[in-house]
Structure 1
Amino acid sequence: MFTGIVQAAVPVVGIVRKPQLITLTLSLPEPLRGGLAIGASIAVNGTCLTVTGFENDRVGFDVMMESLRLTNLGRLDVGSLVNVERAAHYGAEVGGHVLSGHVHGIAEIVAIERPDADNCVVRFRVPAPLVKYIMDKGYVALNGCSLTICDVQDGEFSVYLIPETLRVTVFGHSQVGDQVNLEVDSQTQAIVDTVERVLAARGY
């Protein structure tokens, strides 16, 4: 489980590409390496990945074909920055919202506005099958960052980013056209899907 509070944006320092598999190596700062073990879960751009090896600050992960299909991890290059969050432990403060790290699809940045030095508005286009889960003032995770949805219209929505979010996450470097991992809120998904099933069973 994750909370959507990104702890750092870190560089990709190694990529090994094979058919339907890549191995990513990240450079993690010391505060994020405490208690690290093989098999630990870390969210990388919001995707739950398993640690497969580590030495000093280098931490490795295998990314399989389904994750490559649904996420932006296959588009990374050496030098790319990614958001990371260690798995939450029981009793931890949930400052964002509960996330599984199971990405549903990719959203595209279609506009970035900076009305002043302290505000940034980023607009995203959502894959059509996920639009029904996007509701004004609801939650989403974008590259693992828990954010509040605003201004939903025509398959697009906006989020407002504070300076701290821009400083700590990859959004401080984002550009129009970037592909961003999207995890919809699990409670919203469950409610929408349940209502659809009930209405379909009643012939609506």
Structure 2
Amino acid sequence: MFTGIVQALGRVRSVHAQAQDRDLVVQCPTVILEKLSLGASIALDGVCQTVTALDADTFRVHAIAETLRVTTLGRVSEGDRLNLEPALGAGDPLGGHFVQGHVDGTVTLQGKSARGDSIAYSFRGPEDLVRQLVPKGSITLDGVSLTVGPDLGQTSFEVFLIPHTLQVTTLGDREVGDQINVETDVLGKYILRYLSGREQAGTLSAEALHRAGFGDEGGRE
């Protein structure tokens, strides 16, 4: 479990192909390494990974083929910067929102525009993903907890980034056309799933009525 509050930036030191998978070796500050151990979870640009090796200034993770397909970890290369957040510990402050590190997919940065001291980033993504968003709801982009802006369409949405966020995360480096990892609010997913089940359960059809005995010869009284 994470909160979407990036604690440091790491840099990819090396990438090692492992059949269809990849091992990533990431250099990071001591403040991150002190919180890690073998088998610990850490979010890389919002993607939950397991630490498989540690040394003086790096850690290693093993990203499987499905992770590489769904997230941007399949495209990172040596020298790239990554947002880092170790797993939430007991008693740690919940500064953002509940983040699982289970990325739903990627969205495309469509535009950037100044809004006072902030910058509005507009994105386009799959309709089934964007429909999980609500204005002023929570969203995780490349591991950063953000608030969905009011301009929400069927396949588009926006967020507002303050100067601090642009400075301490990789979102300040992103350019139009870049792909960004996105994880929608897990609470919203459960609500959608629940409502979808109720709709299906409440749908009447000729077949369902027939199974219930309606429409049989002689009918029912």
Q: TM-score range, shorter-chain basis?
A: over 0.9
Aligned to 2:168: 168
The amino acid that maps onto 2:138 is Y
Aligned to 1:9: 9
Instruction: Output the CA distance in 2 between the equivalents of 1:10 and 1:32.
Output: 9
Instruction: Output the CA distance in 2 between the equivalents of 1:126 and 1:35.
Output: 34
For structure 2, the residue ranges without an aligned partner over 5 or more in a row are 205-221
- Note if contact 2:9-2:28 (Cα within 8 Å) is conserved in structure 1: no
Map 1:54-73 → 2, pairs under 5 A: 54-73=54-73
Deviations 1:107-151 (A, max 9, x none): 1101111245x3111111122221220111111101111100011
- Note if contact 2:82-2:170 (Cα within 8 Å) is conserved in structure 1: yes
- Note if contact 2:106-2:182 (Cα within 8 Å) is conserved in structure 1: yes
Aligned to 1:135: 134
The amino acid that maps onto 2:198 is V
Map 1:68-79 → 2, pairs under 5 A: 68-79=68-79
Instruction: Output the CA distance in 2 between the equivalents of 1:163 and 1:89.
Output: 28
- Note if contact 2:130-2:157 (Cα within 8 Å) is conserved in structure 1: no
- The 3-state SS of whatever aligns with 1:101 is coil
Instruction: Output the CA distance in 2 between the equivalents of 1:129 and 1:19.
Output: 32
Instruction: Output the CA distance in 1 between the equivalents of 2:44 and 2:55.
Output: 18
- Asked if 1:120 corresponds to 2:119, the answer is yes
Instruction: Output the CA distance in 2 between the equivalents of 1:124 and 1:9.
Output: 23
- TM-score normalised to structure 2 length: 0.88
For structure 1, the residue ranges without an aligned partner over 5 or more in a row are none
Task: Identify which of structures 1 and 2 has the higher relative contact order when contacts are C-alpha pairs closer than 8 Å and 6+ apart.
Answer: 1
Map 1:1-204 → 2, pairs under 5 A: 1-116=1-116, 118-150=117-149, 151-203=151-203
Instruction: Output the CA distance in 2 between the equivalents of 1:9 and 1:66.
Output: 24
Post-superposition offset of 1:161: 0.4
- The 3-state SS of whatever aligns with 1:37 is coil
Greater strand fraction, Structure 1 or Structure 2: 1
- Note if contact 2:110-2:176 (Cα within 8 Å) is conserved in structure 1: yes
Identity score, percent: 37
Post-superposition offset of 1:193: 1.4
Please give the root-mean-square deviation of Cα atoms over the aligned residues, in Å: 1.2
**CA 1:35–1:11 in 2, change beyond 3 Å: closer, same or farther?**
closer
Instruction: Output the CA distance in 1 between the equivalents of 2:142 and 2:95.
Output: 16
Instruction: Output the CA distance in 2 between the equivalents of 1:12 and 1:115.
Output: 33
The amino acid that maps onto 2:181 is N
Q: What number of residue pairs does the alignment pair up?
A: 203
